[in-house]
Homo-oligomer: A and B are copies of this chain.
């Protein structure tokens, strides 16, 4: 894999100097086109062997292009705000918006590589991590990002030479320390693991480009040209009318039996029992939120349901039991301008809670496979891939010791009609029924199908859906509270 990058590629100063001006001009032009068209974001990864020129390349790119529209990120110590969230949170924070270029040294590849080289992970674990990376990058590409991944390579001999050269020059001596030499002694191990990593994560959409790093002129011009070519290719591509790929249809059960139909919506609780249970459960939830292990976990609760199913009321029964300082409710509305310039999931990542905090999403990322699917706001392929992306997202949360609660509040079509009419009678504007509510109702069956598919595809062992029979508000609230208590208690006991 690295053979071609050990051939001793070189470029004379003369050739370099001759070719550079045109390249810079063209890069600057491409960058401006990108900025003005805001067609997509560009993510450039610079990885590779120590001393192969990652930092120099980053600096050069800043010099060649307009540095005002490049955002650079280097590996550094995690801040405590980052340590509280899933490992990928820091990268989500740093994603460039459409029209901009983000350059990463020390990206999501660093930890998996180093951990395996030093024996902290087995190969199976590494492969698992790499698999997650592929899924992450595939998502970015599907969202429109252009990902360019460069691996700067040096042969063992070349690396030794570079280390010595940097060490002997007083201007660069500060860059070399003992750990560099220690790493150098593990050259073979690094090489083996790197190769495995590159092989497994070179996808058609985001392939690795291996560049020999020894000769600065060759290296710089190679990378510059590769970036230019990729940029131009995407910028100049004609805006083809988006053709929906013919995806296989989702199968519906041939006997018409669906999960939602199995719910017994007649379940009820008496007013008295409701009062008693409510008090007990709210007391229990409050005590749990003050448990000594509560600062080791975080809680993310998602509320979805039919219109008028009582999401707000259920949420309030939870928050009443919590200290207002510990929770935040995120009502999911139309995305802001800054959110629209990012991948779909970005608007949810930014609201992830710190440890010991509770985030309650009133509607959520499931909008993609519910309203956006039914109303045709996104393409078939977009909502089909959302199932997998959502599962990946929730898996990361759970691995980070987040209790993931997902409630679907279900009412019958008749009950909804009754509630709509009641709301119309009450003059209060906050209960105003909009035309949209009535329109959605006409698509009841389509929504029902979408809900069933959602449950089938995203109710996982680590992040199960709780289906809540909500024709009786009391019953629904008690079930929500009890589920929350049980799941949180379970998590606290595991810490």
Which residues does A use to contact B, with CB under 8 Å?
25, 28-29, 32, 55, 58-59, 61-63, 66-74, 79-81, 103, 105, 174, 290, 312, 315-316, 319-320, 323-325, 328-331, 336-338, 362, 428-430
The residues of B that contact A337 with a CB separation of less than 8 Å are: 336-338
Q: 8 more A-B contacts (CB under 8 A) besides A55-B325, A73-B325, A337-B337?
A: A29-B429, A58-B324, A63-B320, A67-B319, A72-B328, A79-B81, A105-B325, A336-B336
> How close is A194's CB to chain B, nearest CB, in angstroms?
22
> Nearest chain-B residue to A320 (Cβ)?
B63
In the complex, what distance in Å separates the CA atom of A126 from the CA atom of B336?
41
In the complex, what distance in Å separates the CA atom of A324 from the CA atom of B67?
9
Taking a contact as CB atoms closer than 8 A, the residue among B55, B362, B428, B430 that contacts A324 in the complex is B55
The answer to whether A324 and B68 have CB atoms under 8 Å apart is no
> How close is A333's CB to chain B, nearest CB, in angstroms?
10
> How close is A331's CB to chain B, nearest CB, in angstroms?
4
> How close is A299's CB to chain B, nearest CB, in angstroms?
15
Taking a contact as CB atoms closer than 8 A, the residue among B32, B71, B81, B329 that contacts A81 in the complex is B81
The residues of B that contact A55 with a CB separation of less than 8 Å are: 323-325
**Given known A58-B324, A324-B103, A337-B336, contact A329–B430 (CB-CB < 8 A):** no
The answer to whether A329 and B79 have CB atoms under 8 Å apart is no
Can you give 12 contacting A-B residue pairs, CB < 8 Å? A32-B430, A59-B320, A62-B324, A63-B316, A68-B312, A68-B331, A69-B331, A71-B328, A72-B328, A80-B81, A103-B324, A337-B337
**Given known A28-B430, A174-B290, contact A362–B68 (CB-CB < 8 A):** yes
> How close is A62's CB to chain B, nearest CB, in angstroms?
5
In the complex, what distance in Å separates the CA atom of A26 from the CA atom of B362?
23
In the complex, what distance in Å separates the CA atom of A328 from the CA atom of B67?
8
> How close is A410's CB to chain B, nearest CB, in angstroms?
22
> Nearest chain-B residue to A69 (Cβ)?
B331
> How close is A461's CB to chain B, nearest CB, in angstroms?
30
The answer to whether A59 and B323 have CB atoms under 8 Å apart is yes
The answer to whether B429 and A32 have CB atoms under 8 Å apart is yes
> How close is A1's CB to chain B, nearest CB, in angstroms?
28
The residues of B that contact A69 with a CB separation of less than 8 Å are: 331
In the complex, what distance in Å separates the CA atom of A88 from the CA atom of B105?
31
The residues of B that contact A80 with a CB separation of less than 8 Å are: 79-81
In the complex, what distance in Å separates the CA atom of A320 from the CA atom of B60?
9
In the complex, what distance in Å separates the CA atom of A105 from the CA atom of B325?
9
Query: Which A-B residue pairs are the 3 nearest by beta carbons?
Result: A74-B325, A68-B331, A337-B337
In the complex, what distance in Å separates the CA atom of A58 from the CA atom of B63?
52
The residues of B that contact A290 with a CB separation of less than 8 Å are: 174
The residues of B that contact A79 with a CB separation of less than 8 Å are: 79-81
The residues of B that contact A68 with a CB separation of less than 8 Å are: 312, 315, 329-331, 362
In the complex, what distance in Å separates the CA atom of A189 from the CA atom of B105?
54
The residues of B that contact A28 with a CB separation of less than 8 Å are: 430
In the complex, what distance in Å separates the CA atom of A225 from the CA atom of B338?
37
The residues of B that contact A61 with a CB separation of less than 8 Å are: 324
Taking a contact as CB atoms closer than 8 A, the residue among B29, B316, B338 that contacts A67 in the complex is B316
The residues of B that contact A63 with a CB separation of less than 8 Å are: 316, 319-320
> How close is A449's CB to chain B, nearest CB, in angstroms?
29
The answer to whether A72 and B325 have CB atoms under 8 Å apart is yes
The residues of B that contact A362 with a CB separation of less than 8 Å are: 68
The answer to whether A324 and B29 have CB atoms under 8 Å apart is no
The answer to whether B72 and A324 have CB atoms under 8 Å apart is yes
The residues of B that contact A174 with a CB separation of less than 8 Å are: 290
In the complex, what distance in Å separates the CA atom of A15 from the CA atom of B290?
33
The residues of B that contact A312 with a CB separation of less than 8 Å are: 66, 68
The residues of B that contact A25 with a CB separation of less than 8 Å are: 428
The residues of B that contact A330 with a CB separation of less than 8 Å are: 68
> How close is A347's CB to chain B, nearest CB, in angstroms?
12
> Nearest chain-B residue to A429 (Cβ)?
B32
> How close is A401's CB to chain B, nearest CB, in angstroms?
19
